[in-house]
Structure 1
């Protein structure tokens, strides 16, 4: 079967991407304790560049320098000031050696109510639009999440042998059962409770919001100066910008709350200020959840209006996701294939046809069909890029049978949630790529320069 559509080039702003396959932004938890990029990060991304991805989108890099940025056990990469720049510069230069692979930074103003107080600032809650804590609905834990939750907490299996008992409950039944479950978890597995119940955040002041808007433009501009080809604003999944967009988490009564236009103001100001700073041509887009998928959340119709406003403000591409941490089974880690494409037509229509990136693929035939329909312009691989960094190269060479397929077990996610090292059930090298340079060091032009330099030092005596 021909998959030629996957390997057509595409332009986003002033950037030409060699194919239609992107690595989805994912936080692998490989940054250092203070958020510095490491050799492990560099090897992680270089392996995917070696595997043929035309576009790498980084994990969300947090530009918020304040104590209330919303720390998280995922240990995100930081990009708040010049201390972090050289490590990013090193990585970007290497990624560009892989046959013109492009790399976009996903830039984030913080975790919002999905964050926790920093370990060094336990007195300082995470900043959010309103003081509304995260509450995961247990009915929204799919089979993968159920399996991993029980893996890390065997006592939970005795407490709840089958989560289907929750999935079949109505709201009234669940409200009563939930209190009993939380009480039981506190007794048998207190360490897992923080995964389901967030800390109460602090409502941000208007000067604090404006400060982030201004800082975002500066940090985005600096990322381009370091060689990043594009920037993606991190606004999905219930994080800070999403929590402003959603009436479920934003109950403010000022110019940043209430109407959809007010709830979108933070995001739109970031786009306008950044576009003014970086100029008209650079690749600069937004990742948004197509729908909250929770009662009282932002709807797809509202998201389409936000997409329209983002386009007018200066965004020139969009990356689609869905949901938030409150609905982890349907959000960024669903069980199915191609679940996100349903939002793509709305994004395309509302943006006037701007490039759209759609994630969640395992099968090349499904990914290719998504492009053929015209609903999306690039496909992205998340968990599948963890399972097999060489998916693009294998597809192009007709070696589909050699693809190591993601089994949707959620081990990669759960290990991050419990501060364990990243693991993949089907790829034992995931997160350990720096130990296997033979998998990814294949940069002919750079190697030629290095060999020339080494040749001029060959045979020198020690003096």
Structure 2
């Protein structure tokens, strides 16, 4: 099968991307406790750049400097001020040395109600549009999640009913089960309870919201000055911006709540203020859930309206996801592949044909067809890029049978939740890339420079 469409170049704003294959934004939890990027982050991105990806989209980097930004066990990367800049500039410089690979920063104003108080300031709840905690619906857990929960918490096998029983519960049965089930979780797996039943957040004031809008624009400009090729607004999955968009989590009665236009105001102000600061041509886009997929949440029709408004405010590309933490089984980590493409036609129509990025692929045949049919403009690999960082190169070299495929076991997610280092069942180098420099460090530019250095050194007198 030909994969020519996957390797066609594409332009987003003033950026030309060499192929249609992106690394999806993921939080690998490699940042230092204070949010600094280190060698692990550097090697993580470099290996995928060497593997042939045309575009790298970073983990979400939080620009919110306040205690209420919503920290959690992931140790999210920070991008609040100049202290963090040189670490990002090192990443950008290295990624650019791999045959023109481009890199976008995903920038975030915070976790919102899906975050938790920082360990150093437990008295300060995470900020959110309204004081409404999130709660995962255990009926949505996939087989992968089930396997990892049972492995991480053996006691649950004895204390809780089988997951198939939970999945088939009616609303009434599930409500009756919850009180006893949550009590079991608190005793047998308190950290898991903390994940499933979130803390009550604090309602943000209007001055705090406006401050975030303006700070976001400043930090986006800083990212471009450091050499990032584009910036993506982090607004899917129930995080802070998404929680403003959703009537499920936004019960405000001011200009940031109520109607869809009011609920979208925070996002649209961020886009408008940022576009004004960075100029008209930079690649600046938005990641959104195509549908929240929860009762009372924001649906696809409303989200299409938001997409159109984002375009008018200055966004020039869109990255698709779905769901939120409350519905983990169908959101960012479903068992199958190509589940997100169903939202792409709606996004393309609403945006007037702007480029759309769609994730959740494993097989190159499926990815090629998604591009060929016009459903999406770029495909992105999340967990599959963890399983095989060299997926693009193998496809281009017609070595499809050599691809190491993601088995959707959710080990990478569970290790983050249980405060362990990034791990992958099928790729022993995942999370440990810095220990294997031979797999990522020999960029074409470095080879040229070292070669010239060796030539010059040969003519030097021996000491």
Aligned equivalents of 1:299, 1:418: Cα separation in 2: 32
**C-alpha distance after superposition, 1:88-108 (max 9, x if no partner):** 001100100000000000000
Q: Are residue 160 (structure 1) and residue 163 (structure 2) matched?
A: no
Q: What is the TM-score with the length of structure 1 in the denominator?
A: 0.98
Match of 1:122 in 2: 122
Match of 2:22 in 1: 22
Aligned equivalents of 2:185, 2:462: Cα separation in 1: 65
Match of 1:282 in 2: 282
Q: Displaced runs of 4+ in structure 1, greater than 6 A?
A: 459-463
Aligned equivalents of 2:158, 2:343: Cα separation in 1: 39
Instruction: Go from structure 1 to structure 2 and tell me whether the alpha carbon gap of 1:81 and 1:462 turns closer, same or farther (over 3 Å shift).
Output: farther
SS at 1:323's partner residue? coil
**C-alpha distance after superposition, 1:295-345 (max 9, x if no partner):** 000010000000000000000000000000000000000011100000001
The alignment's C-alpha RMSD in Å is 1.2
Alpha-carbon distance, 1:418 to partner: 1.1
Match of 1:422 in 2: 422
Pairing of 1:77-96 with structure 2 (within 5 A)? 77-96=77-96
8 Å CA contact 2:160–2:184 kept in 1: the answer is no
Q: Are residue 73 (structure 1) and residue 73 (structure 2) matched?
A: yes
Match of 1:145 in 2: 145
Aligned equivalents of 1:99, 1:459: Cα separation in 2: 30
Match of 1:194 in 2: 194
Q: Which moved more, 1:169-178 or 1:251-260?
A: 169-178
Aligned equivalents of 1:223, 1:191: Cα separation in 2: 35
Alpha-carbon distance, 1:446 to partner: 2.3
Alpha-carbon distance, 1:160 to partner: 2.4
Aligned equivalents of 2:371, 2:221: Cα separation in 1: 31
SS at 2:41's partner residue? helix
Aligned equivalents of 2:450, 2:187: Cα separation in 1: 59
SS at 1:77's partner residue? coil
Alpha-carbon distance, 1:167 to partner: 1.1
SS at 2:340's partner residue? helix
Which sections of structure 1, spanning at least 5 residues, go unmatched? none
SS at 1:339's partner residue? coil
Alpha-carbon distance, 1:9 to partner: 0.2
SS at 2:103's partner residue? strand
Match of 2:108 in 1: 108
Q: Which moved more, 1:277-286 or 1:444-453?
A: 444-453
Q: Are residue 354 (structure 1) and residue 348 (structure 2) matched?
A: no
Q: Are residue 43 (structure 1) and residue 43 (structure 2) matched?
A: yes
Aligned equivalents of 2:148, 2:112: Cα separation in 1: 25
How many residue pairs align between the two structures? 463
Q: What is the TM-score with the length of structure 2 in the denominator?
A: 0.98
Match of 1:449 in 2: 449
Alpha-carbon distance, 1:412 to partner: 0.1
Match of 2:313 in 1: 313
Alpha-carbon distance, 1:459 to partner: 8.8
Aligned equivalents of 1:249, 1:400: Cα separation in 2: 44
Q: Which moved more, 1:220-229 or 1:440-449?
A: 440-449
SS at 1:223's partner residue? helix
Aligned equivalents of 1:424, 1:70: Cα separation in 2: 27
SS at 1:78's partner residue? coil
